[in-house]
Amino acid sequence: MQWPNIAGQAVFTAEHHMTYVHELRTGDRLSVRVRLLGRSDRAVHALVYLLDETHQRVSFVMEEIFLHVDLESRKTSDWPADVAEKIDAQIKKDADLPFEAVTSGAMALR
């Protein structure tokens, strides 16, 4: 099954905190990386990095709380077991990255 579309589920942003670090200019090469920090039954805490590949630096960081939503009921719902397992594996992998996950301190999983 192609989750979430076929399953009638989606991921909504509940909260985010953005920090602009360096300007990107026309012609700069960029990439995006996502670091998962943790999850609850219905949410994920993540950091999203916009990297300036041209100048080898971080341009932007967004800290975000994502919610798993059932599109029929329009309410949050538990992650499907197979999805939760994949999220947990990525959280474990990301915890081993060689740099600190700096957060705003303004948000957390409940």
Q: Which residues of 14-33 are buried (b: 16+ CB within 10 A; e: fewer)?
A: beeeeeeeeebeeeeeeeee
pLDDT tier, 8 (very low <50, low <70, confident <90, very high otherwise): confident
Q: Is the pLDDT of residue 55 over 80?
A: yes
How far the first Cα of the chain sits from its last, in Å, is 29
pLDDT digits 0-9 by tens, 59-84: 999 999 999 999 999 999 999 999 99
pLDDT tier, 102 (very low <50, low <70, confident <90, very high otherwise): very high
Quickly count: other Cβ atoms within 10 Å of residue 66's Cβ.
Answer: 20
28 vs 5, higher pLDDT: 28
- What's CA 59's distance to the chain center, in Å? 17
- Among 59-63, 88-92, 102-106, whose mean pLDDT is lowest? 102-106
Domains of the chain: 9-95 (3.10.129.10)
pLDDT value of position 1: 46
